[in-house]
Structure 1
Amino acid sequence: MTAMFEHLDRASLATTPTALEQGPIVGGGARLWVKRDDLTGLGGGGNKARKLEFLCGDALRAGARALVTVGAAQSNHCRMTAAAGARLGMEVHLILAGDGPEAAAGNQLLSALFGAQLHFTGAAESHWGELEIAREALTDQLTDEGLQPYSIPIGGSTAIGALGYATGFVELLEQCAGQHVTPSAVVFTSSSGGTHAGILAGRAALSAAGWAVPDVIAIGVAKGVNKGSPNVTDLANETLDLMQLPGVRVDPSDVEVDGRWIGNDYAVPTEAGDAAIRWAATNGGWLLDRTYSGKGLSGALGLADEGRFGHGNVVFIHTGGWPALFAADGIPA
């Protein structure tokens, strides 16, 4: 199934395949499995390594000498873009929400360590439009300076970036087959929609090839900015076009986003998310963060408690984010 990706430009950045680990029985009687995309290897690991392989491949093809991207103050995507630039010898500029701290911690510390230049906007975490305007302005400035920047939107959520999770979903189902695991559902965290679109593209490609495919459930973590059904559908179909599968389509009815575990806003911790972080640490030795994976697992556990998965197998894709724990004020015991 990997032949559909061989014609695409790709930089070697991620350590794959990542492990598929068996977890405990969860509420409702389902068996939890954890896809360890927190262990993709690049700059502390996380799901963005998969996207960046294709984004950076495209950047190198275009002759870019710098990468520009944007995110929250403790953006995992920005941290991993900084690491990709270090690996590939490219200058990296990061547009970040909030104001510059007195002392960098968490993802900011790692981004600076990787050599990235951090540009703080003062914008609120959830004001993505304001952050994107700043990215475009800096991209224009660097272009005028002759730097040939390759500009990446929030989360790397383009069709090119989504290819990373089209390949990732194929990898996951091949792994499930090899381990004799038949998942009834795959659950993951979603904000900007690129991971979701890629997973749906991979799912559609496998279904067209005759594979039995599980339900795909995104746990939304960004109020007002999580891409809705038409946006994810369009992005998934653009990804399928890049895979040279124009006859294979994703329908809006394939898009399921459960937003009940967002809480007050994006990047604002929740009691359920903190409980999921503690549960993961004590039940599997897995490290989650408070913005993404903690809320995502809280959704997966909540759905299990509701009986969504019955007594079947459910896979949670651990998208990473643990470095942000070291910038947190502390998780209540």
Structure 2
Amino acid sequence: MEKVTLSAWPTPMEAAPRLAARIGLGPDDLWIKRDDLTGLGGGGNKVRKLEWLVADALRCGADTLVTLGGPQSNHARLTAAAAARADLDVVLVMPGTGHPDRADGNLLLDAVLDARIVWAGDAAPAELVGRAEETCAELRGRGATPYLVPFGGSSALGARGYREAGEEILAQRPDVRHVVTALGSGGTMAGLVAALGPERVLGVDVGALPDPAPVVAAFATQLTGRNVTAGALRCRRDQVGEAYGVLHEPALAALTTVARTEGIVLDPVYTARAAAGLTAAVRDGDIRPGEPTVLLHSGGLPGLFGHAEATRRIGRTLRTYP
């Protein structure tokens, strides 16, 4: 099956010498893979997955994409953008009890992209999947042909996009020793593992799943045809903090450090945790000076503007002159 093209590839690889020095690496050790610069709907890593998933939806004759996520879901926002590009309708299933008084962050972009929202109340993540399936059944009853895009775009099919990303990284930095990525729904890390091997990929758990390692292993096994076990994966679980959407202090510190050394802004849930995990890995010796390292910037900037605690805390640091 051929994918559809939703962005221009490859994305840039940028040196980060000031950040490297700040966290204890050499000036030539650290690079940032700019997958935040994908050219669809505000950018982000989900575009790579959606190229394969939208192609499958079109192959199946779908006229509507249905997916699930939180109100500040980057994946939901990019699914809406991909639907617009492919001339499909889109329905997003989200927890909540109704239309917010003010749409901000990703939710504002969902409105710009003309997504329809199903508010699923206080549904837990597993219940949200069921509500998305019910939504597909309701759409079929109305004569539509829906296609259910999995949570985070993560499946063995969607993960093909990150196998391609891993191959890009190898072409840009053939000597890479570590690739550090946020680990959410599992597809991004699985694709990187398929391209680079489990020994070179460090996933930093953000708390989106109770235990993401078996999910990553299953996707990577399907992609490679080889048995990839959860125990073979490098997963840090020390950056989750209180919960998935709750601001984690090391993530906030990493977000401001990256911005103030390299002028690159991260999101508070995914990429900031990945950067915090990178910092911790250098501190405890899992990543050492002299080992070429790539931090994957998976996007998500709109989510910063929809994160009340992050905007409040960072806003307090605004300085005046003199």
Q: 1:160 Cα shift?
A: 0.8
1-side partners of 2:209 and 2:101: how far apart?
31
2-side partners of 1:94 and 1:225: how far apart?
23
- CA deviations 1:236-259 (Å, max 9, x no partner) are 12223xxxxx4x443434312111
- Picking from 142, 160, 166, the partner of 1:145 is 142
1-side partners of 2:208 and 2:154: how far apart?
17
2:185/2:208 contact within 8 Å kept = no
- Picking from 148, 168, 173, the partner of 1:171 is 168
Quote the residue 1:325 is aligned against. 304
Quote the residue 1:109 is aligned against. 108
Matched, 1:201 2:194: yes
2-side partners of 1:226 and 1:105: how far apart?
30
Specify the SS of the correspondent of 1:44. coil
Q: How does 1:146-161 map to 2 (within 5 A)?
A: 146-161=143-158
Quote the residue 1:207 is aligned against. none
Matched, 1:75 2:54: no
Q: 1:224 Cα shift?
A: 4.8
1-side partners of 2:122 and 2:157: how far apart?
27
- Picking from 33, 39, 50, the partner of 1:41 is 39
Q: 1:191 Cα shift?
A: 1.1
1-side partners of 2:38 and 2:239: how far apart?
26
Quote the residue 1:210 is aligned against. none
Specify the SS of the correspondent of 1:150. strand
For residues 55 and 224 of structure 1, do their structure 2 counterparts lie closer, same or farther at Cα, with a shift above 3 Å needed? Answer: closer
Specify the SS of the correspondent of 1:50. helix
1:55/1:160 contact within 8 Å kept = yes
Specify the SS of the correspondent of 1:42. coil
1-side partners of 2:211 and 2:137: how far apart?
27
What letter is aligned with 2:61?
G
Q: Which moved more, 1:257-266 or 1:97-106?
A: 97-106
Quote the residue 1:237 is aligned against. 221
Q: How does 1:266-305 map to 2 (within 5 A)?
A: 266-305=244-283
Matched, 1:51 2:49: yes
What letter is aligned with 1:267?
G
1:191/1:226 contact within 8 Å kept = no
Q: 1:183 Cα shift?
A: 2.0
1-side partners of 2:261 and 2:239: how far apart?
21
- Alignment TM-score, normalising by the size of structure 1: 0.87
Specify the SS of the correspondent of 2:168. helix
2-side partners of 1:28 and 1:282: how far apart?
16
Q: 1:272 Cα shift?
A: 0.8
Count matched residues: 305
Quote the residue 2:292 is aligned against. 313
1-side partners of 2:102 and 2:227: how far apart?
48
What letter is aligned with 1:295?
R
1-side partners of 2:30 and 2:47: how far apart?
24
Matched, 1:222 2:216: no
Matched, 1:252 2:251: no
Specify the SS of the correspondent of 2:82. helix
1:289/1:324 contact within 8 Å kept = yes
Q: Which runs of 5+ in 2 are unaligned?
A: 318-322
Specify the SS of the correspondent of 1:261. coil
Specify the SS of the correspondent of 2:93. strand
Q: 1:324 Cα shift?
A: 1.0
Identity of aligned residues (%): 37
User: Alignment RMSD, CA only?
Assistant: 1.6
2:163/2:193 contact within 8 Å kept = yes
- CA deviations 1:164-189 (Å, max 9, x no partner) are 10111111111113xxxx22211000
2-side partners of 1:121 and 1:286: how far apart?
35
2-side partners of 1:147 and 1:38: how far apart?
33
Quote the residue 2:128 is aligned against. 131
2-side partners of 1:74 and 1:83: how far apart?
15
- Alignment TM-score, normalising by the size of structure 2: 0.90
For residues 23 and 76 of structure 1, do their structure 2 counterparts lie closer, same or farther at Cα, with a shift above 3 Å needed? Answer: same
Q: 1:226 Cα shift?
A: 4.1
Q: 1:113 Cα shift?
A: 0.5
